[in-house]
Structure 1
Amino acid sequence: MMNTCPVREGTARWPEAEALTFAGRSWTYRALDGEISRWVAALQARGIGAGDRVALLSTNHASCVFLFFALGRLGALLAPLNARLTALELAPLREDVAPRVTLALGSLMDRLPGSERLETWADGVKEPSLACEPLEDSAPRVVLFTSGTTGRPKGAVITEGNFRASARCSAANLGAFPAPRWLGTLPLFHVGGLAMLTRCAYEGGCLILHDRFDVEAVNRAIDVEGVTHASFVATTLERVLNARRDRPMPESFKLALIGGGPVPTPLLERARAARLLALQTYGLTESCSQVTTERPSEADGRTAGPPLPGLEVRITGPEGQVLGPGREGDIEVRGPTVMAGYLNRPEATRETLRDGWLRTRDMGMLDERGRLTVLSRRTDLILRGGENLYPMEIETVIASHPAVQEVAVVGVADARWGEVPVAFVVLRSGHAFPEDLDTWCRRSLAGFKLPARFLAMEALPRNAMGKVERTVLRQRLVAS
C-alpha cells in the first residue's frame, strides 16, 4: 500500500487545526507542513534521498518533529540516539548507522564529534520544497536502538506500515476519538514517543510536546491545554496524582496508557477515584510500541490486557510448543506492527523473527480471556535452585506494602542456590524502613521466592525510557 505524509494529508483536510505545541509555540497543520517543507529543502541541498540515514541526538524539541516528517517525504531514515548516553556509548551506534548527516541539539553536540546544530540547521533555506514521495508500507522510517541494558544495543528498523498499523490497532482498542491531544513527555528517541507523534498525525490530532517530564507542566497541560490522552509509568502516574492532591481529572481528559510493568493496586484505586482511567500495557521497540492493552470497558489492573485488535500473542515452551491458558512460557507476537529486522544484524534478525513471529524473550502467560500477564523480561529471570523466579511477581507483593514507594528485585550469585533474589526498596516520604517486609512477603509468596535481602535506596536507577537499570543494581551488589 502507498502512503503519503500524514501532515500533508492533514493540511488538505483540516489546515487550521492545531497539530503541535512546544515551548509556548503552536503550529497548525498548514504551518507544520510549511516547516517540514523547509527541512525537506535543507535535506535535499545536502543530497539526502531515499535510503539515506540521518543520526540525531536530542531531547524532545520541535525540530525533531520537522526532521522526522521531512525525512519521510524523501524516503530517508531517522536514527534517533538516546540523549542520556555518553560519547563512548554513542560512538558505536553512529558507526552502525553510517549516517550521511549527524545532527545534535546544541547542548549535546560535544558527545557526537562532527555533529551539526539541530535547532538552526534549516534556517538558511530560502525556498521550501514541495517534494513528498509516497511510501510503501514496507519502507523503513526509523532505526531505534534497544535500550541496551544488557549487551550492545541493536537497531530495530521500524517501517511506515508499522507506525500506521500501531496507530490503527491502538485506535481500534481505545475507540474512535476525533482530534486527540496527546501529552508528549516520552522521548522522541523512544518508540513510545514516536508512536504518539505518528498517531496524532494520522488521526488529525495534536501532540503537546514537552522537552522532559515536569509534573507541574503535565498537570497544567491536563487542566488548561485540553490534553485528552497521556502515557505514564507507575512512578510518573503517582507523581501526577500527588501534585494534584488527588484532585479529579477534568472531563476533557480521557485516559492514560501505563507502561513499564504492573501498577500497584492502591495506586490504580487512587487513579480511578481521581477519574483517571489508567490502562496497563505491554509493548517493546521491536513491535512499534503496544502489543497488549487493557480494554477501556474491562480494565481491572490485573493484567496487561489482551492483544490489540489485529495482533496475535502466543505463549511457547522450551521446544517451541504453543502453551494453553495459565501456562508460563515465552511471549511471541505476530502482526503488522512487528519490525522489519535489526540493522546490519542478519543473524540476530533470524533468531528473533521466525515464521512471522517475534520472539520477545519475555516470559508471561495468557488467561482464559486471552489477557497477558508479564512475568519477567527474559534477562531479569532469576534461577534459584532450579526454580524460575519472576522479579515482577515479587515486586508486586513488596510494592503493596504501605511504606514502599517502589521496588526492584534482581538476582545475585549464591554458592548454595545458584541465584537468590535481592530487593532494592525506595520508601515513601516519612516512613522508616519497615521491619516486617519479610513477614509481609510470606503472606503471599512461597518461601523460595522470598528476597534474601532488602536494601534501602533513595531512588532506583532508570534509563531514558523509564526502565529500571537492573544491571546497575547488580553491579552495586557485586561491588558491595
Structure 2
Amino acid sequence: MPVLTCPIREGARSHPEAEALTFAGRSWSYGALDAEVSRWVAALQAQGVGAGERVASLATNHVASVCLFWALGRLGAVLAPLNARLTAAELAPMVEDLQPRLTLALGALVERLPGARPLEAFADAVTSPASTCLPLDASSPRVVLFTSGTTGRPKGAVLTEGNFRASSRASAANLGAPPSPRWLGTLPLFHVGGLAMLTRTAYAGGCLVLHERFDAEAANRAIDAEAVSHASLVATTLERVLDARGDRPMPSSFALALIGGGPVPVPLLARARAAGLRALQTYGLTEACSQVTTERPDDADGRTAGVPLPGVEVRIVGAGGEVLGPGREGDVEVRGPTVMAGYWQRPEASREAMRDGWLRTRDVGVLDARGRLTVLSRRTDLIVRGGENLYPAEIEAVFVNHPAVREAAVVGFPDGRWGEVPVAFLAPRPGRERPGDAALEAWCRQSLAGFKTPARFVWVEALPRNAMGKVERTVLRRHPLH
C-alpha cells in the first residue's frame, strides 16, 4: 500500500512559491501555507489531539478551516465539520456521537457548540511550529460528514484519504483539468463538495480561491481578475452568476463549471453556453465523496448527469437486487474507490447501505445505452398514483423550464381514488405573471403523460429548504392546499 503524505508539505518542497490559497484579500503560497499548517499541528498537539481522534468544528468558510483540515491529516486525526446552519439542538446529537477530543467554532457560532474554543484564534499563541507529518494510507479516515438527516437521525459518513485522492484523480481524468487548476471555492467546507474542491486543488498543485459564502458579484470578480479555471455551482447560483455578469464575455482562463444539486433547466444551460460558460451536469453524494457521474466536456448536452467517473461503477438494480439493463428504471448503486468506509458508530446502517461492495444510494434512476445516468427520484420521494410510479424530478424538470417558474417541487398527497396524487409547489420568477391552473396543465401535457400531470398547483414565495439546501418535502406535505 503506497505511503501518502500531506500535499501542502509536498508542494512546499517542490513548488514553494506557487499560490495555494486565497481568502479575504490574502494569499498563501505553498511554502507559507505549510508553515501555517505546522503551527496548527503544534496547537493541536498541545491539546492532546493524536491519531484516530476526532475534532469537531463549526464554521463558515475560513482560512482556519483549511489549516485545521491539513493539520489533522498530519496527525492522523479526523475532522468532523458540522453544518454552520444547524441549531444547537440539531448539533448536540452529532457531537454526542463523535465524542470529540476537541471542539472548535468561529467566534460568531461558539454559543451553538457548548465548550467550543474559538477557531480563528486557536493557533495564535503558537510560536514554535511542529514538523510532525505522519504518513497516511488509503484507508486512513480523514473526515466524518453527517448526512442531512431528512429521514431520521443524521449518520456520519467516514471518508478516507483514499476516497479523496481517488475522487480527485477521477474528476481530473474526466475533465482534462489543467496541471494547476484554480478552483472557485464557494461551496461550504462542511459539505463534501467544498472538501472536494479543497483536496483536488492541493493534490494537483493548484489554488483554492476560497470565498466565505456565495456572492454572484464576487464570483464574477474572481473569474475575471483571479484567473479562476473551475467552479462548482447549482442551478440557482449558475443563474445568479449569469444575471450578474450581463454581457461580459467569459475570459479564456475559465474552463468549466460543474453543476450539481439536481436537474438543470435546459434554457439555463443554453444561456450559459451562449455566454461562453461551459457547464457540466453532475450527480454525487456524500457517501461517494462527491462526484459519481459527470458529463464529459466533449459530450455534454445537459440531458443527463453523464457517465460514471473513471474507476467508478454505476448500476441499476430491481427490487430483488437483479441488475437491470439500459432504459430500465431502478435503484442506483455505486462501487469504486470513492465509496465511504461506512457510517461512524453505525454498523447496522453501514451493512444496510453496502451490499457486496456496492453502495445503495436510495436514489432511483436509469442508464441509457451510452452509460449516461438520469436520476429520477429519491426512493423516499417516489409517488405511486394508481399503481404507476411517478418521479418528482421528471415532473419538476418540466416546470423549471417554464418562463414564469423560478423553482418547483412535486410531492405526493393521499387520495381516496388513486392512493396518491402529485401536487406541484411553484415559486414564481420575479416580474412574471403567474399562469393559471389550466395553462400549467397544458404546459405539462406537452411533455408528460396525463397521469404524471399534478392534481394541484400551489404557488409559494420560496421552497422550504433544510440546512444543506435540500427541499424539505416533509414541510410541503403539511402545507394547506386550500
- TM-score normalised by the chain length of structure 2: 0.98
Matches within 5 A, 1:206-285: 206-285=207-286
| Aligned twin of 1:158 | 159
SS at match of 1:135: coil
Distance 1:259 1:427 in 2: 22
Query: 1:246 Cα deviation (Å)?
Result: 4.3
Q: 1:1-400, aligned counterparts within 5 Å? A: 1-400=2-401
Match of 1:462 among 461, 465, 472: 465
Task: Report if aligned partners of 1:59, 1:212 keep a CA contact under 8 Å in 2.
Answer: yes
Give the Å deviation of 1:150.
Answer: 2.1
Q: C-alpha separation between the residues in 1 aligned to 2:403 and 2:22?
A: 39
2-structure distance, mates of 1:99, 1:474: 37
| In 2, Cα distance between equivalents of 1:410 and 1:130 | 54
In structure 2, the partner of 1:446 is 449
* CA distance in 2: counterparts of 1:412 and 1:27, whole angstroms: 53
Structure 2 residue identity aligned to 1:233: V
| Residue matched to 1:402 | 403
Take 2:227 and 2:151, find their aligned partners in 1: how far apart are those partners?
39
How big is the shift at 1:466?
3.1
Partners of 1:4 and 1:343 in 2: CA distance: 24
Which residue in the other structure is 2:477 paired with? 474
1:244 positional shift = 1.0
Secondary structure in structure 1 of the residue aligned to 2:239? helix
CA distance in 2, matches of 1:113, 1:224: 41
State the shift of 1:400 in Å: 1.4
8 Å Cα contact 1:279-1:295 kept in structure 2: yes
Is 1:197–1:207's contact at 8 Å kept on the other side of the alignment?
A: yes
Of 216-225 and 322-331, the range deviating more from structure 2: 216-225
For residues 10-62 of structure 1, the C-alpha deviation after alignment (integer angstroms, 9 at most, x for no partner) is 11111011101111111000010011000000010111110000001111111
| Residue type at the aligned position of 1:228 | S
Shifted more, 438-447 versus 339-348: the winner is 438-447
1:414 aligns with: 415
> Quick one: distance in 2 between partners of 1:351 and 1:110?
36
Q: Secondary structure in 2 aligned to 1:379?
A: helix
Q: Would the aligned equivalents of 1:226 and 1:252 in 2 still touch at CA under 8 Å?
A: yes
Q: Secondary structure at the match of 2:328?
A: coil
- The alignment partner of 1:78 has SS state of strand
What is the root-mean-square deviation in Å for CA atoms of aligned residues?
Answer: 1.1
Quick one: distance in 2 between partners of 1:15 and 1:84? 36
1:46-104: CA deviation from partner (whole Å, max 9, x where unpaired): 11110000001111111000000000000000001111111111000100111000001
Deviation of the 1:464 alpha carbon? 4.1
Report the Cα distance in structure 1 between the residues aligned to 2:63 and 2:177, rounded to whole angstroms: 27
What is the alpha-carbon distance in structure 2 between the residues aligned to residue 33 and residue 285 of structure 1?
28
Q: Kindly indicate whether the alpha-carbon contact (under 8 Å) linking 1:53 and 1:97 is maintained by their aligned counterparts in 2.
A: yes
8 Å Cα contact 1:256-1:279 kept in structure 2? yes
**CA–CA separation in structure 1 for the residues paired with 2:11 and 2:82:** 28
Amino acid at match of 1:458: E
Distance in structure 1 (CA, Å) of the matches to 2:29 and 2:78 = 25
**Which structure 1 residue ranges, 5 or more long, are not aligned?**
none
Q: Is the 8 A contact 1:246 1:270 kept in 2?
A: no
User: Which residue pairs with 1:423 in the alignment?
Assistant: 424
Q: Percent identity?
A: 75
Output the CA distance in 1 between the equivalents of 2:468 and 2:275.
26
How much has 1:179 moved relative to structure 2?
Answer: 1.1
More deviation, 24-33/409-418: 409-418
**Secondary structure at the counterpart of residue 233 of structure 2:** strand
Relative distance call for 1:91 and 1:69 in structure 2 (3 A) is: same
Inter-partner Cα distance in structure 1 for 2:469 and 2:242:
18
Deviations 1:422-475 (A, max 9, x none): 111112221121121111101211121111211112222233433222222223
Maintained 8 Å contact 1:143/1:343: yes
Within a 5 Å distance, the mapping from 1:432-443 to structure 2 comes to 432-435=433-436, 436-443=439-446
Aligned length: 479
CA shift digits 1:170-222 (9 cap, x unpaired) = 00000141211101010000000000000000001111111111111111111
In the aligned structure 1, how far is the partner of 2:434 from the partner of 2:3?
59
Matches of 2:153 and 2:335, distance apart in 1 = 25
Letter of the 1:414 counterpart: D
Task: Give the secondary-structure state (helix, strand or coil) at the position aligned to 2:308.
Answer: coil
**Could you tell me whether the CA contact under 8 Å between 1:312 and 1:334 is conserved in 2?**
yes
By how many angstroms is 1:282 displaced? 0.4
Unaligned runs of 5+ in 2: none
1:477 Cα deviation from its structure 2 partner: 4.3
Q: Identify if the C-alpha distance between structure 1 residues 301 and 252 changes in structure 2 by more than 3 Å, giving closer, same or farther.
A: same
CA contact (8 A) 1:241 1:247 kept: no
Paired residues of 1:187 and 1:465 also in contact (CA < 8 A):
no
Q: Name the CA distance, whole Å, in 2 between partners of 1:33 and 1:336.
A: 28
Kept in 2: contact 1:161–1:336 (CA 8 A)? yes
Counterpart contact for 1:187–1:464, Cα < 8 Å: no
More displaced, 219-228 or 379-388?
A: 379-388
Distance in 1, Cα, partners of 2:346 & 2:227 = 43
SS at match of 1:476: coil
Bigger mean CA deviation after superposition, 384-393 or 466-475: 466-475
AA matched with 1:26: S
Query: For residues 394-442 of structure 1, what are the alpha-carbon distances to aligned partners after superposition, in whole Å with 9 as ceiling and x for unaligned?
Result: 0111111121111111112223222211111112221121121111101
